[in-house]
Amino acid sequence: MAVRIKSITFDCADPYRLARFWSQLTGFVEDPDNGNAPGDPEGLLLSPDGALALLFIAVPESKHVKNRVHLDLVPLEGRRDEEVDRVLRLGARMVDDLRRTDGAGWVVLADPEGNEFCVERSDGERAASVEQLGRTFAAVGELITKVRPEQWSAPTPCTDWTVRQLVDHLIGMNRVFAALLAESGKSVLVLERGHARKLTDLYSSQIWARRLKWAAPETIQGGPDSIWVNFNSGHGYGGAAIHHYAVWPRMHEEDFREHTLYGRSQDWPFEYSELRPFYDQVQREVGMSGDATKEVWRPPGDPYPLPPVLVTNHGRAIARGFEALGMRTAPLPMAVLSSAYNGRPGCLWDGWCDAGCPIGALANPLVVYMPRAIKAGARLMPDAAVTRVITDRTGKRATGVEYYTPSGEKVFQPADLVVLCAFTIENSRILLNSANGSHPHGLANSSGTLGRYLMGHQVVMAYGMFNENMQNYLGTAGGQLLCQEAYGKKSDPNGAFGSRQWEIGLMLKPNDILGIAMSNASIFGADLHKFLQDGSQHMGAMVAECEDEPLPENRIELDSRKDKFGMPLARTVYRRSDEGKKLWNTAADEGVKVFKAAGAHDAWHGTPGGQHIMGGTIMGADRRKSVLNGVAQSHDVPNLFVGGPGVFPTSGAVNATFTAHAVAMKSAQYIVKNWKSLKT
């Protein structure tokens, strides 16, 4: 059964003035039996055929409280640009000019009271640019380039929309979602809390690298242990992935079935075999370097598209120690190009990975998925701080998000589908702050698990000083070699449950958090000068990552303190798991032994650290025990999805970014294939 729109209501301050504006704009007329007059509490306009009414009602609330009305207008005669000029002469103001050089796009305008509306291209203009539109919508290009102007109502593959239609607005911060959904023909808007940046904005310096870390809002850290928020998070285009080290091993098959296999921890809602195709696809698209044959612990998967990253004497010397203790090493799988790939240059081996990699050899969002999203027509809006997801009255569907502009203006952005891809902690914070009458304890929290099972890899840095030149000034910040001999869940000699891995041969800078000077806090003064001089040529470094047990008491919650927009800040309550502590102690002792076996005349390890914040919005097959299902879709709100490592039910002992990409790819493809059911 079809329905028609009977009326559109505008909440406003001056019904008479606003009705006059819209009458001039649309050609709608006053009711002949009940005309509008200045000072009336209501105003009414009717379409020429009487089928549609525009009703204007005076309300006391400001636009910061009341929702705006948003309309999309298509000129019946003439061209889009002519219509924009006409509307501006009527008294509208320009909000955002999204016209593109190829003729596509639209203009966002606002009437005298701030109600926003879009002016799009006329049907004639759309028909004249079929080939341009085909390039933009790559996923349906083959069909579009064959469509004649009179066939604009033709359906497109795998969707319920026509060639002419732009069907949805996506709110998210993950470039994998943005790229795939834009390429499938969706209208995508990415709201980014931080600033805009491009590759030419990046500089190879430690001071610059710090600027890529978390800037706002503050996270309050509680509990007995820190989860290392500042080191792990990011701010601006690319988020934390802009400064990540691109170490990309896959999670192992047993990581997905820990409860089934061992009666411990939790299971994922799918097995490794279901995620494998997405691992394979991502590594082809970003360009990965490694040697799958030598990586004997690796689960099944396609070979890496590029040969391994550089191995200097730094890696070879430490590998001697592992070999002496009966352990194998292999090239470290990395999303860093060992040679040119898909138009991007190979790595220079200068170790500026955490400064953003200005040349684009490291697979961060600025060089892979973000350009794809933009090319396909996605819009990116920086400095837009999303604070809440808004639902309809039933609480069963998301209708959009609320965000703040830098000036403090609160804006409601409507959306047919919402994807939250903020930082792990911020995703939980946004959902907790989105509590309403239907979701009193936070949106998507019927299970009571929202914010819980917060995890972080417990890491130990191990060092050794050698007589030989280590060439430690060459390579990548993430390392050169990998050892996963202790990845078995019950392989720990001290009886701890969980996995460990070593990343070997981290390129060293003189100072900063992973630099030579910071590696031994007991050395200072004149001794520090000699230590730095020796370390710059003769020091070796590696890092162990240890699995963290998912504990429900480790959580993200709302604090009593608020940000500048008046929204409660996030507070973490975190305690290192007992199993993780045991694994860390084993790794610390093992690291010193490896360096001594390798020939170091001095060996030591650092204090506990943390990498890769996970959990808070976990996936699960049982909606009573999880926030999301196996495609990272909310159990409670079907058109709400979440991206990032916050969806992980367990941590494993591998770096999180590769798996986060694979899960995002899985979710995005599900959305594209199931768009019709998700939208309704």
Tokens (6 digits) for 459 = 């890491």
**Integer Cα distance of 433 and 443 in angstroms:** 8
* Sequence-distant (≥ 6) Cβ neighbours of residue 568 within 8 angstroms: 429, 432, 433, 558, 559, 560, 561, 562
500 or 132, which is more confident?
Answer: 500
| Spatial distance between the Cα atoms of 667 and 465, rounded to a whole number of angstroms | 46
Of the pLDDT bands very low, low, confident and very high (cuts 50, 70, 90), residue 138 is: very low
Name the pTM for this structure: 0.76
- The three-state (H, E, C) secondary structure of 510-542, written as one string: CCCCCCCHHHCCCCCCHHHHHHHHHHHHHEEEE
Residues 578-596 have a mean pLDDT of: 97
Higher pLDDT, 331 or 11: 331
Q: 90 and 21 in contact (C-beta within 8 Å)?
A: yes
**pLDDT class of 156 with cuts at 50, 70, 90:** very low
What is the model's pLDDT at position 240?
Answer: 86
Q: Which residues pair with 171 in a beta bridge?
A: 189, 418
Residue 605's pLDDT band, with cuts at 50, 70 and 90, is: very high
Between 36 and 500, where is the model more confident?
500
Q: How much of the chain, in percent, has pLDDT values that exceed 90?
A: 56
Which residues, 6 or more positions from 424, have their beta carbon under 8 angstroms from its beta carbon? Answer: 613, 614, 615, 616, 617, 644, 645, 646
Please give the residue that has the higher pLDDT: either 585 or 214. Answer: 585
Residue 180 pLDDT: 78
> Burial letters for 245-284: b for 16+ Cβ neighbours within 10 Å, e otherwise?
bbbbbbbbebbbbbeeeeebbbbbbbebeebbebbbbbbe
Over residues 77-101, the mean pLDDT reads 80
Split at pLDDT 50, 70, 90, the class of 146 is: very low
The arithmetic mean of pLDDT across residues 579-591, rounded, is 96
What the block records as the tokens of 113 is: 């009271």
Please determine, for residue 90, whether its predicted confidence score (pLDDT) is greater than 60: yes
The structure tokens 């999180």 sit at 656
| The predicted structure's pLDDT at residue 5 | 57
| Nearest residue to 504 (alpha-carbon basis) of 304, 313, 251 | 313
- Residue 500 is predicted with a pLDDT of 97
pLDDT digits (tens, 9 = 90+) for 387-439: 999 999 899 999 999 999 988 999 999 999 999 999 999 999 999 999 999 99
Residue 99 is encoded by which pair of tokens? 């016209």
pLDDT the model gives residue 169? 34
Residues in the chain: 680
Question: Over 50: is that where the pLDDT of 512 sits?
Answer: yes
Distance CA 567, CA 385 (A): 11
User: What is the second-level CATH architecture of the domain 1-67?
Assistant: 2-Layer Sandwich (3.30)
CA 373/CA 384 separation, integer angstroms: 18
Per residue in 116-133, pLDDT (tens digit) is 777 888 767 765 543 343
- Band of the pLDDT at 548, cuts 50, 70, 90? very high
pLDDT single digits (tens) 5-59: 566 878 888 888 889 988 988 889 988 777 888 888 888 998 888 778 888 888 8
Scanning the structure block, which residue is given the tokens 């998925």? 369
- Cβ contact 600:326 at 8 Å: no
pLDDT exceeds cutoff 50 at 290:
yes
H helices within 30-79, ranges in order? Answer: none
Q: What is the pLDDT of residues 476-498, one digit of tens each?
A: 999 999 999 999 999 999 899 99
| Cα distances (angstroms) measured from residue 577 to each of 197, 464, 548, 581, 631 | 37, 28, 6, 6, 28
- Grade residue 216 by pLDDT with cuts at 50, 70 and 90: low
Residue with tokens 């044959």: 293
pLDDT at 142: 39
CA distance 539 to 271: 41
Report which of residues 59 and 339 the model is more confident about.
Answer: 339
Residue 160 has pLDDT above 50, yes or no: no
Q: At residue 360, does pLDDT exceed 60? A: yes
Task: Identify the pLDDT of residue 25.
Answer: 86
One-letter identity of residue 618 = I
Q: Return the higher-pLDDT residue of 177 and 470.
A: 470
pLDDT value of position 101: 61
Q: Where are the alpha helices (DSSP H) in 288-410?
A: 313-324, 369-375
C-beta separation of 618 from 453 below 8 A: yes
Domain residue spans in the chain?
1-67, 73-123, 129-162, 199-373+445-672
Q: Round to whole Å and give the CA distance between 556 and 173.
A: 20
Mean of all residue pLDDT scores within the chain: 86
Closest CA to 514 of 534, 543, 546: 543
For residues 379-388, average pLDDT: 92
Measure CA 575 to chain center.
Answer: 26
Q: Which residue has the higher pLDDT, 163 or 646?
A: 646
CA distance 203 to 207: 9
Whether residue 217 has a cis bond before it, omega within 30° of 0: yes
Average pLDDT of span 655-673 = 95
pLDDT tens for 174-215 read: 567 777 777 788 888 899 888 888 888 888 888 888 888 766
Q: Is 233 exposed, middle or buried (0-12, 13-18, 19+ CB in 10 A)?
A: buried
- Arithmetic mean of pLDDT, 357-373: 91
Tell me the pLDDT band of 63, cut-offs 50, 70 and 90: low
Per-residue pLDDT, 140 = 37
Residue with tokens 């808070």: 616
